[in-house]
């Protein structure tokens, strides 16, 4: 989830208008990554939580 947090933080600063699109693309990718064995269930849940609710990442990159 580290890189995703960094991406969200950067996007919120530089291009807030595309953050919702990034979040949706990320959510749609989770089942694909699970199916291919790239992530496990715990990682999928963490990613989903990070991508699900706008505003969880602040400008400092913290939840």
pLDDT of 17 > 70? The answer is: yes
Q: Is the pTM of this model over 0.75?
A: yes
pLDDT of 15 > 70? The answer is: yes
Tokens standing for residue 20: 């919702």
Measured CA to CA in angstroms, residue 27 lies from 23, 52, 60 at distances of: 6, 7, 22
CB crowding 11-29: b at 16 or more within 10 Å, else e? bbeeeeeebeebbeebeee
Give percent of the chain with pLDDT exceeding 90.
Answer: 79
Tokens standing for residue 61: 């990159």
pLDDT attached to residue 61: 43
pLDDT attached to residue 52: 87
| pLDDT tens, residue by residue, 33-61 | 999 999 999 999 999 999 987 665 544 44
Measured CA to CA in angstroms, residue 22 lies from 2, 6, 13 at distances of: 15, 12, 14
């Amino acid at each position: 989830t580290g890189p995703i947090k960094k991406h969200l933080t950067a996007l919120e600063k530089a291009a807030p208008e595309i953050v919702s699109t990034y979040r949706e693309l990320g959510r749609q990718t989770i089942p694909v990554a699970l199916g291919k064995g790239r992530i496990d269930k715990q990682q999928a849940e963490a990613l989903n939580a990070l991508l699900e609710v706008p505003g969880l990442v602040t400008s400092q990159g913290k939840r």
